A and B are shown apart, each in its own frame.
Chain A
Amino acid sequence: MSDAATHSSPNTTRAVGVKVVGLRKSFNGQAVLKGIDLEVLPGEIFVIMGPSGSGKSVLLRHMIGLEEPDAGEILVDGQSIQSPELMDKYRLAMVFQSGALLNSLTVGENVGLYLTEHQLKPPQEIARIVTEKLELVGLKGTDDKFPSELSGGMKKRVAIARALVIDPQLILYDEPTSELDPLSAAVIAEEIASLKQRIAVTSVVVSHDREVAFGIADRIAVIHEGVIVAVGTPEEVRRNPDSIVQKFLNTNFNFHHRKT
């Protein structure tokens, strides 16, 4: 991966698609991904759902090159994610489940980090963009705070602002609404959905929040124990007869029997 010195601002503004072909990954002999094949089309919101431990996040990390596959490949706009010049050519971003903000930097510095490090804009312009993006995620005036002063939800929104600064062609969200109250989750979900209208971006969202997934997705994939068990539009997935899919989609809390 090249650094700021060699980084050239990519001039493409279109959304890019991702293709996963025969992806396999094991950790310490335990197979986590057992041959994943899927295609995310340019410009769509693609949600990967599944129970905890099913391999969703590992799949997402492969899609941005943070993990090396044991077998198979990931193609971004037809090019392997492992190719060294890919990150220079396309603007990819990821919103981590924890936010993964740099704790030694302020919120403003975190949000502007990509522009600062790659020296893409003058400092005044960066400050303006940072303010604008923070306002967009409802965190106006938090520029000078440190991540340790923010709540979990606020950190996640800062992470989204940091991803938006990149003007991404592909943005990956790892559990963007987990640990959030329903109102904040709705705000984040709306933000992910509205982003599609504002900029040409492909969004891949990993979530086990069924409400959010069916609310924003163009297509959904359900993953179970490292295998994709269903792919399609929300309606198609809802109608999928597979018992695992139906169990995942229709299990609800039911404490009624305790009261009676």
Chain B
Amino acid sequence: MFQNLGEMLLLFTRTLGSLPLLWRHRQKVFDQFFEIGNASLFMVCVLSFFIGGVIALLTGPVLVDHGVKDSIGGLVGIAICKELAPVMMSILIAGRIGSSMAAEIGSMRVYQEIDALRTMNINPIHYLVLPRLVSIAVGLPLLVIFSILVGWGGGALVADLNNKIGVDFRSFFANLRDTVRISDVANGLFKSFVFALVVGVVSCHQGLQTIGGPRGIGRSVTKAVVNCIVMIVILDYFLTRLLL
């Protein structure tokens, strides 16, 4: 495990070291960026809307019982932007994009495409890892912004339409505005940025480590997704503690 962590750290620092070459690889960054947005935007909307709705549904009646139903906007707002949007979206991206990164790079490794790149004096880190890491590091926080807004909308809609809650849109967002600070949103975005780096590095590393045939590729994909989720959840605790 420690060897893997060391290798991932090395991969990350080498990728950081290749950042000056970013402009040269801009087309690949845009392609990956499009892939992330295109593959995930619809799913982000659906997931975020229902997460916001469920939080409102679970907390609303309790707040009504305690006579503080107007604070539902702030509660849903904070829960979504500081925790649920960054964590859930990162897990979603680990499943959708991390798996495809590990599979693509893993298959390139197994079928000697990476060897071919090396014989052409093309560094696989610059050619494959840099564009993917940059696009996910930019793309995931953007998706999280989107997710926060849709999640708040979902929560507001449920709070308005559910008879047991009965908080209208205006009151919901008034309380949300009073409670949620810009720094809360920034905290969530910072978390998602860190998680994006984790997903990018873990998935690319797993892809580059692939050995064997199709079974090896499958193993790499599974390991990439599982490792990403485990690392996201563990890091989430420490980041939350740090940002309190």
Contacts and interface: CB of A to CB of B under 8 A. Distances in A.
A118 B123 CA distance: 11
Contacts of B107: 103
Interface in B112-151: 112-113, 115-123, 126-127
Contact of B119 (A3, A93, A101): A93
A47 interface: no
A114 B120 contact: yes
B21 A1 contact: no
B119 A92 contact: yes
B119 A4 contact: no
B24 interface: yes
Given A101-B113, A103-B113, A5 B20 contact: yes
B111 interface: yes
Interface string A140-175: 000000000000000000000000001000000000
A4 B116 contact: no
Interface residues of A, number: 28
Given A3-B18, A5-B24, A88 B120 contact: no
Contacts of A101: 113, 116
Interface string B195-213: 0000000000000000000
Interface residues on B, range: 20 to 34
A2 interface: yes
A222 interface: no
A3 B21 contact: yes
A94 B119 contact: yes
B112 A4 contact: no
A135 B34 CA distance: 35
Contacts of A88: 121
Nearest to B23: A5
Contacts, number: 66
Given A5-B20, A117-B127, A64 B113 contact: no
A119 interface: yes
A contacts with B: majority SS: loop
B108 interface: yes
Contact of A3 (B108, B115, B116, B122): B122
A38 interface: no
Interface string B177-207: 0000000000000000000000000000000
B120 A66 contact: no
A2 B116 contact: no
A102 B119 contact: no
A7 interface: yes
Interface of B: 18, 20-21, 24, 104, 107-108, 111-113, 115-123, 126-127
Q: Which 10 A-B pairs have the closest CB atoms?
A: A100-B116, A100-B112, A3-B123, A87-B121, A3-B126, A94-B119, A114-B120, A117-B122, A5-B21, A102-B113
Interface of A: 1-5, 7, 61, 64-66, 87-88, 92-94, 96, 98, 100-104, 113-114, 117-119, 166
Given A88-B121, A100-B113, 14 more contacts: A2-B123, A3-B123, A3-B126, A3-B127, A5-B20, A5-B24, A61-B115, A92-B119, A93-B119, A96-B112, A103-B111, A114-B120, A114-B122, A117-B127
25 contacts: A1-B123, A2-B121, A2-B123, A3-B18, A3-B21, A3-B121, A3-B122, A3-B126, A3-B127, A4-B21, A5-B21, A7-B121, A87-B121, A88-B121, A92-B119, A96-B116, A100-B113, A101-B116, A102-B117, A103-B111, A113-B120, A113-B122, A114-B120, A114-B122, A117-B127
